[in-house]
Amino acid sequence: MKFERCRMLMGEDFEKLRHAKILLLGVGGVGSFCLDCLIRSGVEDVTIVDFDTYDITNQNRQIGSDKVGAVKVDRLAELYPSVTPIQAKIDTEWIETFDFEPYDLVLDAIDDIRAKIALAHKVWPKLISSTGSARKLDPTKIEIASIWKTHGDPFARKIRYELKKSGFKGNYPALFSPEEPKCKTKGSFVGVTGAFGLAMCSMAVQKILSR
């Protein structure tokens, strides 16, 4: 049986994964590995949202990037036929108008800070968010904590600042790494970006199973 090993680990709670509805925003270096993990864990109903197409520079860290020029969500829908793809730019306007109500969890693997802040205000009770995964080499440094308890990461610090500035009073779990950046540019290593995605999937699975 395809998911026999998952059932052995999770018992009857495994059926909760089969019926969960998850919205995954961003399917790049973090999001694509999160998606792969969700599907392999038995989650059937995943909606993915991204606007981009694959560039050759994505090939060091993104699942599906062997098909340069393809729309990311369409390519991933070929690889994972059960997903629902939406090609859309995730900005504040899209977040304001999109209906998040049907989803049990919203997974944020986007880079745009303004969109992240708008998303937090809109859906924080069912949000799991990723902060900065680039410029780092050690996946064992990855932590999951309240967004307010993140530390050692400049991107997470900016998110906290903007949340406070906007009057945000909620709370949600965030993935981050306090590892010192190894370069000043957008260098990335799939051992870390992929691990962020797997950790995000793990957090999502645990939340669903605990219900």
Domains and CATH numbers, the chain: 4-209 (3.40.50.720)
CA–CA distances in Å: residue 168 to residues 153, 171, 186: 20, 9, 29
pLDDT at 20 over 90: yes
Q: Kindly tell me if the per-residue pLDDT of 139 is higher than 90.
A: yes
Quick one: angle between helices 113-123 and 154-165, nearest 10? Answer: 60
Q: How confident is the model at residue 23 (pLDDT cuts 50, 70, 90)?
A: very high
Mean pLDDT across the stretch 54-59?
97
Q: pLDDT at position 2, please?
A: 92
d(CA 92, CA 79): 29
For residue 172, name the pLDDT band (cuts at 50, 70, 90).
Answer: very high
Instruction: Decide: 96 and 108 in contact? Cβ < 8 Å.
Output: no
Residue 114 clears pLDDT 90, i.e. is over it? yes
Choose among 67, 32, 69, 30: nearest CA to 53: 69
Interval 12-16 mean pLDDT:
96
Q: Does the pTM exceed 0.75?
A: yes
**Residue-wise burial string across 11-35, b where 16 or more C-beta atoms lie within 10 A, e elsewhere:** eeebebbeebebbbbbbbbbbbbbb
